[in-house]
Chains A and B, each alone.
Chain A
Amino acid sequence: MELLERFAAGDLDAFESLFRQYQGEVYRWVMRIVRDPAVAEDLTVEAFWRAHKAHAGFDPENNFRAWLRRIATNLALDHLRKQRLYVELPDDLAAEQKPDSAVQQQMRAVLRKAFAELPPRLRIVAQLGLVEDETYAEIAEALGISAGAVKLRMFRAVRVLRKKLQRLGVHA
């Protein structure tokens, strides 16, 4: 019996094999979105837990990796929604300490703030596409939307970002 068939049948050993095979990949993906190692670890475990809970509904002919990534992406998006109002990007991960002028440092801080304030569904696309350089197809698959919708959201994210910066008095 194939590994995915055993997983779908509820075999815990098969689940463990899949967990060990994909935990690093899921963690890296979630980390790119939430940028916090502790949160990324929690969300990775939660994603696998949800996958395990839904094992009976999984078709072994389908792509397990894509299915798992979509679960993890939705969890990360939920996390962005919850943290949106009061948390900025962690400084240690968001920006290296560069020997720049105070103006440049301030500009970066303003941009980070504006980025953190983006609506989560735009921010996740901007994060993955503009910052992490993921392809439209990859982002679309993870979010369960079309590549066209990804393009549209990215364009809107940049437009919102530009408006926010202009409102804050920063030329962009």
Chain B
Amino acid sequence: MKPVNNKSMIAFLFDQMEKLDKNEIDVQKAREQANLSKQVNNAMKYELDRAKVKMELASHNAIYKDGLDLREIESKNF
């Protein structure tokens, strides 16, 4: 499986649109690719929100001398 970041996702989607324009992929495949991409976008949005919460926690901890932390729910290696 190829690692994906947001930039590579965007490049992939532009590529798919071009392929669709040239009829190199059919509408069904384009739809499925778009649906999968939406799931990747959701995961990336989650990462963005997580980064925001970590920022807020760091600020909170600095002000209130607290040790709140965001639980790592995906730290287990498979």
Q: Do A and B come from one complex?
A: no
Q: Which residues of chain B have a CB within 8 Å of any CB of chain A?
A: none
A contact residues vs B (CB 8 Å cutoff): none
